[in-house]
Amino acid sequence: MNENMSGKKQKTSKSRRETAVQGTNDNSIVSKCSMASVGYFLDSYLQHFVGKTSKRAPIINRGYYIRAKCIDRALRQFLSQNQGCKKQILSLGAGFDSSFFRLKSEGLLQDCVFYEVDFPELVRNKHILIQNHEELSCLLDIAEEKNKESPHIELLSSHYCLIGVDLTLVNTLEAALRLCGIDFDAKTLLLSECVMTYMTRRCSSELVRWAGETFQDGLFVMFEQMNPYDAFGIFMQNHFHTIGSPLKCITSFPTMDSQVKRFQLLGWESCEIHDLNKIFFCMLSETERARIEKLDPFDEYEEFNLMCAHYFLLVASKCTKTHSLILDSSLSVPKCLSPQADSMAGLVVSLLAPGLSVIKRFSHASVLIQGHFVVTAGGFGEGDGRHQRLQDVAITDIVNMESTLVRCRSESIQYSRMHHSSVVLSDGRVLLYGGRQSPFFLCSQLLILDVCFNILQDDLSRHTNESGQCIPDSLKSDKTTIVTSVSPCSLEPSHCVKDHSSGRNRQFCEQLDTNTGHFRVDVHSVNTDQYTERDTAQSLSKGDLIEKNSLDFLMEKEEWTEFSGGRLYCGVLRQSGDIPCPRWRHASTLVQIEGQDFMLMHGGRTQQARVLGDTYLLNVRTGHWTQVLCHGNVPGPRHSHAMVTWVKEGSQQVVLMGGLDEDQQPLSLIHILDLNTHTWYIFPTTGPVLPRYSHTVHIVENKLVMVGGINALQQTPGIGIVNLKSGEVQEFSFPPPQPDNLLMYHRHCSVLLPNGTILVIGGGGNCFSFGTHLNCTPVTVDISRCIQAVA
């Protein structure tokens, strides 16, 4: 009885696993249908295998496009290279794939028989769908359907056969194929598209061995996942485990090299293998890449490159000399010299202590003010129990790593934005520029943020003169606005807005009614005579606020929001001059010209998928823009790059590194701008620098420090250091990821702390169809030993 119960339980468990794996087919075919409906890939037959269509996110459409494109190319190349002779295609784990119908309708399957194998229940359902759609059944010569000689043969016609067999039963599979009339000596392409990864190592390797021994003139085409040990790979594995379809083979064969060795040991003579990044750039033409760039409002470049780095296409052959089924032999595949990362140099990453408030967002902007607080604005993350663009501003104390969220509720000021930039002005205020709310709605407002902190009453004397009068901020070396000591509970939550956009200035004030929980709104006129072009000094009594008047800037709107530690002021700076077109994914840095603050900005993206290569200077005091006409080795159009100001022998230089060019190729060159002559030059290095984008940069001891980023290689960037005096380059890997606290170093921000440590804020992204990952930050990275290692 126990044996029977055990057998029944085991059978139920096996049935559940099979059902889960078949569920991946359902998700896959819906995604493929979505991709085709947008116009990525021409296939009118996919829709007949989908019960209910669903529009997928652009990242999923593009991912399934490159997957479909490379497999379709392999099939077409096989058919083209073997015209005029008998040939066969055997699709292992075919699911609801429509390749046969697409190729048959184009007249490409002459002298070719197409065999599809999958679980019995799945092929029965596929057979029903074929019978119910004349567009499918008319291509099958159903009138010539032969008598089935095996219960495993679901459909048998002259050019197409459906077989229901578990692929772990290779003897049963071989017998069913023989009854279908397959020719084991004919040229045969065997296709496995994300199939064997769900099988155990023993069963999948046995299938590879069987195929090599059985088909004398065979080609094995396999599309599968890889790289399970980095953060994205672990996140990917967790996804498949959660849906009940764990990737059983990925840790046994984690890399492309291990897959090649596997096939060679199992009897295959030669192997060609490429990841999807290489296929995307080397198989697709520039015209095709430009075409698909316009199909979707696409802005997930990082996650697309990460996904492509975790999937490969392999073609194994029984012959040593074969023509490539993937890449055109006439194409010269560019080679990128990749430096070896030194993982032994001593990068120390310290995670956030348990119990502290976390910042979980990406595509935001973070800067350090007063050497003590990090101000983080915007981005995409968790808010109100769901993922969304964030309007709040996070203020992090770098001493105790506690973060306070200031909830900004204005509908008139564009707090909510992604892929913007921020710089700290010389007086401690923060300038936010650019960004987007969606690829269709770009942010045009230029914001000035000023954080006013509470201080102890005993410290007040440091900010007043002998007569007790407050010293105006314009005369202080510390530009911080001060609030006298007030306990958090004594500060009533309030929110005020001043609107200067019309001739009549008005002030909107909201006060929280603690009894009802609602805000009371008061609107009244503001006497403009109260405000001057200079900072206003006010007498101070306990509980009063010293405010730095914002009208030394030309503001369109102003507002402030109180929080437990003080007050956050925000103003919209009025812009004039050569105002740049709205953009996101640009780069900016603060420079000093004749003692005044200017923001230098370069590149970015705008609507219609345009990549920009222009350069502008903004006078932050007047809001006046000037387009800078540069000379020399101009960086050209790019986005997702990084810039930093470097003082070289008393002269300011701007260092620009990386980014994506117009063809979405990750860049590795370092450009330096001489501000005096407006001349760019390429900085020469003694060795190769890893291409990267979506990274951050800092200057430490005349060395350029590059933090994280993404590229299209199999080597994910860690910390890169370039000595700007000698040109020496070294790359350092981050420590292996912790499965319970994954860190993805892209779409993040970082600040250089006074002690030389780097503080990483946020990061992560929408990881293809596997879900959204948000880093738990802040995280500190000690690079001191790395700095010492680079001469």
pLDDT tens for each residue of 38-64: 999 999 999 999 988 899 999 999 999
Phi-psi region for residue 518, left (φ > 0), alpha (ψ -120 to 50) or beta?
beta
pLDDT higher than threshold 60 for residue 466:
no
pLDDT band at 383 (very low <50, low <70, confident <90, very high): confident
Instruction: Please tell me the distance from the alpha carbon of residue 404 to that of residue 563, in angstroms, as a whole number.
Output: 8
Q: How confident is the model over 409-415, as a mean pLDDT?
A: 87
Which residues, in sequence order, are CB contacts of 779 under 8 Å at separation 6+?
349, 350, 351, 352, 743, 759, 760
- Local structure of 702: helix, strand or coil: coil
Question: What pLDDT score was predicted for residue 338?
Answer: 63
Paired tokens of 684:
């020469």
Instruction: Please tell me the distance from the alpha carbon of residue 8 to that of residue 612, in angstroms, as a whole number.
Output: 64
| 301 contacts 694 by C-beta, under 8 angstroms | yes
Instruction: Please tell me the distance from the alpha carbon of residue 505 to that of residue 246, in angstroms, as a whole number.
Output: 62
pLDDT band at 608 (very low <50, low <70, confident <90, very high): confident
Cross-strand pairs, 141: none
Question: What pLDDT score was predicted for residue 467?
Answer: 33
Fold: same for 13-141+149-317 and 348-454+551-789: no
Q: Where are the domains of the chain?
A: 13-141+149-317, 348-454+551-789
- Local structure of 710: helix, strand or coil: strand
Does domain 13-141+149-317 sit in CATH 3.10.20.30?
no
Candidates 417, 425, 401; CA nearest to 757 is: 401
Q: Which sign, positive or negative, has the C-alpha torsion 72, 77, 79, 80?
A: positive
pLDDT higher than threshold 60 for residue 606:
yes
Tokens 């915007």 locate to 378
Burial tier of 151 (Cβ tally within 10 Å: 0-12, 13-18, 19+):
exposed
Phi, psi of 463 (to 5 degrees): -115, 10
Paired tokens of 642:
């990084």
* Helical pair 120-132 and 2-38, crossing angle rounded to 10 deg: 40
Which residues, in sequence order, are CB contacts of 322 under 8 Å at separation 6+?
219, 270, 272, 315
Terminal alpha carbon distance of the chain: 74
pLDDT band at 455 (very low <50, low <70, confident <90, very high): low
Q: How confident is the model over 541-555, as a mean pLDDT?
A: 45
Question: What pLDDT score was predicted for residue 472?
Answer: 31
pLDDT band at 453 (very low <50, low <70, confident <90, very high): confident
Cross-strand pairs, 671: 656, 682
Instruction: Please tell me the distance from the alpha carbon of residue 660 to that of residue 637, in angstroms, as a whole number.
Output: 8
Q: Find the range with the poorest average confidence among 131-140, 405-414, 423-432, 514-523.
A: 514-523
Name which residue leads in pLDDT, 621 or 488.
Answer: 621
Question: What pLDDT score was predicted for residue 246?
Answer: 97
Q: Across 712-767, where does the E strand assignment appear?
A: 719-723, 729-732, 749-752, 758-761, 764-766
Paired tokens of 778:
């802040």
Cis status of the peptide bond prior to 778, with omega within 30 of 0:
yes
Paired tokens of 631:
């000379």
Cross-strand pairs, 731: 341, 720
Q: How confident is the model over 759-783, as a mean pLDDT?
A: 96
Candidates 626, 599, 640, 616; CA nearest to 423 is: 599
SS (H, E, C) 350-384: ECCCCCCCCECEECCEEEEECCCEEEEECCEEEEC
Tokens 């080609």 locate to 219
Cross-strand pairs, 729: 722
Question: What pLDDT score was predicted for residue 660?
Answer: 98
Instruction: Please tell me the distance from the alpha carbon of residue 498 to that of residue 555, in angstroms, as a whole number.
Output: 10
pLDDT digits (tens, 9 = 90+) for 345-371: 678 999 988 888 899 999 999 999 999
Question: What pLDDT score was predicted for residue 336?
Answer: 54
Q: Tell me the CA distances in angstroms from 301 to 60, 269, 487, 609, 769, one per residue in order.
A: 12, 36, 46, 12, 14
Instruction: Please tell me the distance from the alpha carbon of residue 37 to that of residue 184, in angstroms, as a whole number.
Output: 38
Burial tier of 346 (Cβ tally within 10 Å: 0-12, 13-18, 19+):
middle
Angle at 739 between CA 737 and CA 742, to 5 degrees: 60
Average pLDDT score, the chain: 85
Candidates 73, 74, 67, 58; CA nearest to 292 is: 58
Question: What pLDDT score was predicted for residue 527?
Answer: 36
Paired tokens of 16:
């559940």
pLDDT band at 16 (very low <50, low <70, confident <90, very high): low
Angle at 463 between CA 461 and CA 371, to 5 degrees: 120
pLDDT higher than threshold 80 for residue 75:
yes
Reported for 751-755, long-range contacts at CB under 8 A and 24+ positions apart, including other chains, are 751/366, 751/367, 751/368, 751/374, 752/368, 752/698, 752/700, 752/705, 753/368, 753/398, 753/780, 754/371
Question: What pLDDT score was predicted for residue 321?
Answer: 72
Question: What pLDDT score was predicted for residue 696?
Answer: 99
pLDDT digits (tens, 9 = 90+) for 253-289: 999 999 999 999 999 999 999 999 999 999 999 999 9
Question: What pLDDT score was predicted for residue 529?
Answer: 36
Phi, psi of 211 (to 5 degrees): -60, -40
Element spanning 397, H or E: strand 393-397
Displacement of CA 485 from its chain's centroid (Å): 43
- Local structure of 525: helix, strand or coil: strand
Q: How confident is the model over 599-608, as a mean pLDDT?
A: 95
- Local structure of 96: helix, strand or coil: coil
DSSP character at residue 756 = S
Question: What pLDDT score was predicted for residue 408?
Answer: 87
Q: How confident is the model over 174-199, as a mean pLDDT?
A: 97
Phi, psi of 205 (to 5 degrees): -70, -35
Q: How confident is the model over 233-244, as a mean pLDDT?
A: 97
Q: How crowded is the C-beta side of 411, counted as CA atoms within 13 Å?
A: 1
- Local structure of 87: helix, strand or coil: strand
Paired tokens of 382:
């968790």
| DSSP count for the chain of H helices, then E strands | 13, 46
Class of domain 348-454+551-789: mainly beta
- Local structure of 209: helix, strand or coil: helix
pLDDT digits (tens, 9 = 90+) for 199-231: 999 999 999 999 999 999 999 999 999 999 999
| 686 contacts 729 by C-beta, under 8 angstroms | yes
pTM value is 0.87
Alpha helices in 608-760 (DSSP H): none
Element spanning 259, H or E: helix 256-265
Instruction: Please tell me the distance from the alpha carbon of residue 100 to that of residue 116, in angstroms, as a whole number.
Output: 9
* Helical pair 301-309 and 231-242, crossing angle rounded to 10 deg: 80
| 421 contacts 365 by C-beta, under 8 angstroms | yes
- Of the chain, the percentage scoring pLDDT greater than 90 comes to 73
Displacement of CA 563 from its chain's centroid (Å): 32
Q: Which sign, positive or negative, has the C-alpha torsion 458, 459, 460, 466?
A: positive
- Local structure of 290: helix, strand or coil: helix
Which residue type, as a one-letter code, is found at position 138? Answer: C
Which residues, in sequence order, are CB contacts of 238 under 8 Å at separation 6+?
770
Q: Which sign, positive or negative, has the C-alpha torsion 477, 483, 485, 487?
A: negative
